[in-house]
Amino acid sequence: MNKNPNLPLKFNFEDYTEAEFRVFMQEMFDAITGKVGGTEDEQERYLDKLIDHFSLVTEHERGMDVIFYPEPPIPEGADISQMIEHIIEEVKRWRAEKGLPGFKAE
């Protein structure tokens, strides 16, 4: 179930541009905050799908904890766009450290 038809889920991290991944992250935060519509059960299933996809494509060893328990912690009072940026920077840092490919060029 993909609530946003303009959000194609890609198979590999390196298939995303940074802008496309940011759109994916925004959709995930919309799902976290209940902004995607549908019943509570549908929202939960959709969020689970997005979280699983995040863990799969980023390959980050901390999986979904990168989202819910970020290290370093997200600064107090950060808005959603700042949270998304913080998470993306952590994923980029970790992937580079592990020698994994980064985003596709814009």
Residue 1 has pLDDT above 50, yes or no: no
Q: Which residues of 63-86 are buried (b: 16+ CB within 10 A; e: fewer)?
A: ebebbeeeeeebeeeeeeeebbeb
Q: Delineate the domains of the chain, giving CATH numbers in brackets.
A: 13-97 (1.10.1200.20)
pTM: 0.89
pLDDT band for position 99 (cuts 50, 70, 90): very high
Q: Which of 87, 49, 42, 85 is nearest to 67 (CA)?
A: 87
Residue of higher predicted confidence among 92 and 3:
92
Residue range 57-64: mean pLDDT, rounded? 96
